[in-house]
Structure 1
Amino acid sequence: METWLKELQKKRAIAVIRASEFELGLHLAKSVATGGMQFIEITWNSDRAAETIARLRQEMPDCSIGTGTILSLSELRDAIAAGAQFIFSPHVEPALIRAANDAGIPVIPGALSPTEIVTAWQAGATCVKVFPIQAVGGASYLKALQGPLGKIPLIPTGGVTLDNARSFLNAGAVAVGLSSQLFPSSLVAAKDWDAIAQLATTATRYCSIEQGKKP
Structure 2
Amino acid sequence: MFNQCWLKLLQQQRSIAVIRAPQLELGRQMARAVAAGGMGLIEITWNSDRAPELIALLRSELPGCTIGSGTLLNLEQMQQAIASGAQFLFTPHVDPTLIRAAVDAGVPIIPGALSPTEIVTAHQAGASCVKVFPIQAVGGSRYIRSLQGPLGHIPLIPTGGVTLENAREFLLAGAIAVGLAGDLFPQKLIAAKNWEALEQQARNLIQQLATNPIN
Q: TM-score range by the shorter chain?
A: over 0.9
1:79 aligns with 2:93: no
Of 153, 156, 161, which aligns to 2:155?
A: 153
Q: Distance in 2 between matches of 1:67 and 1:212?
A: 31
Deviation at residue 150 of structure 1 after TM alignment:
0.2
| Distance across 1 between alignment mates of 2:77 and 2:144 | 30
Amino acid at match of 1:76: M
User: Which of 42, 45, 60 is the aligned partner of 2:44?
Assistant: 42
Aligned partner letter, 1:35: G
Tell me the distance in 1 between the aligned counterparts of 2:63 and 2:150. 38
Deviation (angstroms), 1:207: 2.1
- In the alignment, the residues of structure 2 paired with residue 175 and residue 103 of structure 1 have an alpha-carbon distance, to the nearest angstrom, of 23
Tell me the distance in 1 between the aligned counterparts of 2:174 and 2:24: 35
Aligned mates of 1:157, 1:65 — CA distance in 2: 17
Task: Describe the shift of the 1:212–1:84 C-alpha distance in structure 2 as closer, same or farther (beyond 3 A).
Answer: farther
- Map Cα deviations across residues 137-187 of structure 1 (whole Å, 9 max, x no partner): 111111000000000000000000011111100000000001111111111
Unaligned runs of 5+ in 2: none
What SS is found at the alignment partner of 1:140? Answer: helix
Q: Offset of 1:203 from its aligned partner?
A: 1.0
Q: Is the 8 A contact 1:11 1:207 kept in 2?
A: no
Per-residue Cα deviation, 1:1-38 (whole angstroms, up to 9, x for no partner): 21121011111000000000010000000000000000
Question: Are the aligned partners of 1:205 and 1:212 in contact in 2 as well (CA < 8 Å)?
Answer: no
Percent identity over paired residues: 64
Deviation at 1:58, TM superposition (A): 0.6
Aligned match of 1:51: 53
Aligned twin of 2:64: 62
1:182-211 CA-to-partner distances (Å, cap 9, x unmatched) read 111111111000000000011112224xx4
Residue aligning to 2:171: 169
Unaligned runs of 5+ residues in structure 1 are none
Amino acid across the alignment from 1:118: V
> Is the 1:88–1:109 contact (alpha carbons within 8 Å) kept by the matching residues of 2?
yes
**Quick one: which amino acid aligns to residue 6 of structure 1?**
K
Q: Which amino acid aligns with 1:156?
A: P
Task: Please name the residue that 1:202 is paired with.
Answer: 204
Distance of 2:130 and 2:209 partners within structure 1: 19
Q: Distance in 2 between matches of 1:30 and 1:157?
A: 21
Count of matched residue pairs: 211
TM-score normalised per structure 1? 0.96
Q: Deviations for 1:75-102, whole angstroms, at most 9, x for unmatched residues?
A: 0100000000000000000000000000
SS at match of 1:162: coil
